[in-house]
Amino acid sequence: VFQGQILAQHLVGQETRYEVEVKTPYRHRFPLVSREYVWVPNTCGCPPLREGSEYLLMARRHVNYERTLNRIVLQDNGYARPWTLREDRLVREAAQHC
């Protein structure tokens, strides 16, 4: 779970790749750097993410069987909400209990 700003969007084959500036990592099981690529396994714009906007994203790391591909994936039904102070407060409160 992290707060990020969408810098760019690119269609690559049947997937969408977002370049994201990681603003605040809340909870993560793998290391995040200041800029990451977040992949969505479709080109339909689901979930809808706009360039320049900030979101609270809950993504998963995907490593293929051969361990040659390691990337962050936001599934089409994944959690992607516009970032607000309320979302920030809710995530920080939840982190105290998890």
Query: Quick one: pLDDT at residue 63?
Result: 83
Assign 14 to helix, strand or coil.
coil
Residue 4, strand partner residues:
22, 55
Which of 36, 49, 50, 38 lies closest to 12 in space, CA to CA?
38
Distance, in Å, from the CA atom of 46 to the CA atom of 24, rounded to the nearest integer, reads 23
DSSP 28: -
Q: Evaluate the omega torsion of the peptide bond into residue 31 and state whether it is cis, within 30 degrees of 0.
A: no
Query: Quick one: pLDDT at residue 5?
Result: 96
98 pLDDT more than 70:
no
What are the backbone dihedrals phi and psi of residue 61, each rounded to the nearest 5 degrees, phi first? -85, 135
In the chain, the domains with their CATH numbers are 2-96 (2.40.50.120)
What would the pLDDT profile of 19-51 be if each residue is shown by its tens digit?
999 998 887 777 888 999 999 998 887 888 999
DSSP secondary structure string, 38-84? EEES-SS-SS---TT-EEEEE-EEEE-TTS--EEEE--TTSEEEE--
Query: Quick one: pLDDT at residue 64?
Result: 77
What would the pLDDT profile of 51-88 be if each residue is shown by its tens digit?
999 999 988 888 877 777 788 999 877 789 899 888 88
